[in-house]
Amino acid sequence: MAQSFRDKFLKDVAQHQMEIQLDQGVFRHVVFKRPNTINQLFSLTTTPGRLVFGGDIGCFVFERIHDMFAFFRRDMERFDPNFGYWHEKLVAVDRHMGSMNASVDKFRDNLEQYVEQYDDLTGEEIGQVHEFIDEAATLFEDECPHEAYVAVGNFELRDAPFFTDFWESSNEEYTICYLWACHAIQWGVAQYDKAKQAEGGT
């Protein structure tokens, strides 16, 4: 999954060109786009302690260290964005795109993994639980996650609550926009570094 997404991203930016519009220490504004179109255009803007990713895919703001290009270089060698750690440094997200959303697939997977903890369920009980999981997943997708969580909390087996601590599970996943932005930041910083090295800069 990660490899296929990375391959898709690289295809998206295969014709992108970089334009450095501001480059004064940690004050930068760098734009990446295909010629003659703004489709999938994005920019990286840094000020002390902050990086703003903006453009066609949405807007995300990260804060961590004085030079945020240096922050994103840390995982550069393997071209593998550190989505989880970077998400902790996210201080603002696009109000339309967001960085995470509820996932019915993750919700279902978490329920089924919960069932695997039990090795004393009868075949009939397993069937009953899986039937409930199907119903809960439908409720999650068609109604709302909150209603599904309530149903999970109310589900009983052997006259006792079955999913006793399911509320601790995360049923969200990163949005496509957030994943794309992270790849774009890492790729963009690499392009900037190559250009600076080529001109003998730092």
Q: For 69-144, where are the E strands, in sequence order?
A: 90-93, 100-102
Taking alpha carbons only, the member of 97, 107, 83, 91 closest to residue 172 is 107
Predicted pLDDT at 119: 87
Which ranges in 74-144 belong to alpha helices (H)? 83-88, 104-115, 123-142
Predicted pLDDT at 201: 53
pLDDT, one tens digit for every residue, the chain (202 residues): 556 889 999 999 999 999 999 999 999 999 999 999 999 999 999 999 999 999 989 999 999 999 999 999 987 766 789 999 999 999 999 888 799 988 899 999 999 998 888 889 999 999 999 999 999 999 988 878 889 989 999 999 999 999 988 877 888 899 999 999 999 999 999 999 999 999 875 5
What is the Cβ-side half-sphere exposure of residue 42, based on CA atoms within 13 angstroms?
26
What's CA 71's distance to the chain center, in Å? 18
Gap between the Cα atoms of 81 and 102, Å rounded: 21
Predicted pLDDT at 170: 82
Torsions phi, psi for 169 (to 5 deg): -75, 145
Predicted pLDDT at 118: 87
Torsions phi, psi for 7 (to 5 deg): -65, -40
Task: State the amino acid at position 60 in one-letter form.
Answer: F
Predicted pLDDT at 130: 94
The two three-digit tokens of residue 121, written as one number: 């369920």
